[in-house]
Structure 1
Amino acid sequence: MRKVHPEFAYQSRELAAQIDGILGDPPDRKNYQRMLDALMSEYASGGGIEDLNMMAFALVDVIEFSDPKTILADADDYEYGDPARVFAAASCPDGVAAEMFAALEENHPDLGRQAIITAFLHKHPRLWDDDDVSLDQLAEGDDGDDGDDEDSGVSDDFAQMFDQEGEK
């Protein structure tokens, strides 16, 4: 298991929620495919929404990874990774998907890099580990209030200024 940048973990979870939302309940595969085709067409033409999750959504079903270790290694840094290295570690098959991939590399290299990593993490959840930020984990080792109530540094006169039921 490898730790990834918390933002990539978050974006991977967001992508999963987006896919579930577009599929719907019960799953509407036709609607899902129409959305995917529209996004791929937009990005292939050099346009499209500059949105990480939209790009990852357009890539997730068509992308292939030739060097997963490189992509996973680049998932450590959300902001300053190497787009050329990540694009070289992945590809899309011929047709609109390949055109989209080339257009993303040319027009949106940094955001495209993040989208590729997000799609990879979504497709391979067992290869990485997310930081546990649950309340139970955060509270582990916490002995409670670390302050000393006796030495709060607030005088009685100052505290009484805010006392609603103080002397009138």
Structure 2
Amino acid sequence: MRRVHPEFAYQARELEGQIEGILGDPPDRKNYKMMLDALVSEYAQGGGIEDVNMMAFALVDYIKFDNPKAMVAEAQDYEDGDPARVFALASCPDGMAAKMYAAIEENFPEIGRQAVITAFLHKHPRMWDDDDVSLDQLAAGDEGDDEMEDEGEVTDDFANMFDQEGDH
């Protein structure tokens, strides 16, 4: 497993939440399909919202990845990368999906690159590993409070002034 850029991990988690939110509980496939069709149509016409997750949502049900290992490698850098290389690693079938894919590459290459990688990460969660940013992980190796220098340290007399239960 390879680690991916934290922003890609975040976008993949956001895409999962977006899909679940649109599907609803219980899942409404008709609503989901209407939303997906509207996005695909917008992007196929060269328009659409310039948003990584919206593009990834439009792509995720149609996109096919020809070289998953290379796609994981592309997920190492969020800001910089070669859009042409990423778009060449995937494809969409004929019809409206193929037209959408070509239009995204032409009109939104940078955001489209990020959307393609986000869709990949969503579809292949076992091929990558997310950085653990839990409090337990962030505290690992922390020895506790840092030792303070003598300057600025609160004296016992000062601290006791605020002790409600102590002697006054």
Fold conserved between structures, TM > 0.5:
yes
Shift in Å at residue 154 of structure 1?
Answer: 2.5
Question: 1:68 Cα deviation (Å)?
Answer: 1.0
Q: Is residue 99 of structure 2 the alignment partner of residue 99 of structure 1?
A: yes
Q: Which residue number in structure 2 is paired with residue 111 of structure 1?
A: 111
In structure 2, the residue matched to 1:18 is 18
* Map of 2:30 onto structure 1: 30
Which position in structure 2 is the counterpart of 1:134? Answer: 134
Report whether the alignment pairs 1:41 with 2:16.
Answer: no
Structure 2 counterpart of 1:78: 78
**Counterparts of 2:134 and 2:145, CA distance in 1:** 19
Matched, 1:153 2:143: no
Q: State the Cα deviation string for residues 27-71 of structure 1 (Å, max 9, x = none).
A: 000000000000000000000000110000000000000111121
In structure 2, do the counterparts of structure 1 residues 64 and 155 end up closer, same or farther at CA, with 3 Å as the change threshold?
closer
After TM superposition, the score normalised by the length of structure 2 is 0.90
d(CA) in 1 for partners of 2:84, 2:116: 12
Q: CA–CA distance in 1 between the matches of 2:119 and 2:152?
A: 53
Q: Cα deviations across residues 8-39 of structure 1 (Å, max 9, x unaligned)?
A: 00000000000000000000000000000000
- Segments of structure 2 that go 5 or more residues without pairing to the other structure are 163-168
**1:116: Cα distance to partner?**
0.4
Q: 1:56 maps to which residue?
A: 56
Asked if 2 retains the 8 angstrom alpha-carbon contact of 1:12 and 1:118, the reply is yes
Q: Contact between 1:70 and 1:85, CA under 8 Å: does it hold in 2?
A: no
Q: Which residue of 2 aligns with 1:122?
A: 122
Indicate whether 1:6 and 2:6 are aligned.
Answer: yes
SS of structure 2 residue aligned to 1:87: helix
The aligned counterpart of 2:87 is 87
Aligned residue number for residue 166 of structure 2: none
* Structure 1: tracts of 5 or more residues without a match: none
Alignment partners' CA distance in 2, 1:99 and 1:8: 25
Equivalent pairs, count: 160
Task: Measure, in 2, the Cα distance between the counterparts of 1:155 and 1:88.
Answer: 60
C-alpha distance in 2 between matches for 1:154 and 1:63:
59
**TM-score w.r.t. structure 1 length?**
0.90
Partner Cα separation in structure 2 for residue 115 and residue 152 of structure 1: 52
CA distance in 1, matches of 2:9, 2:153: 47
> Aligned partner of 2:85: which letter?
R
Matched, 1:67 2:85: no
Moved more, 79-88 or 139-148: 139-148
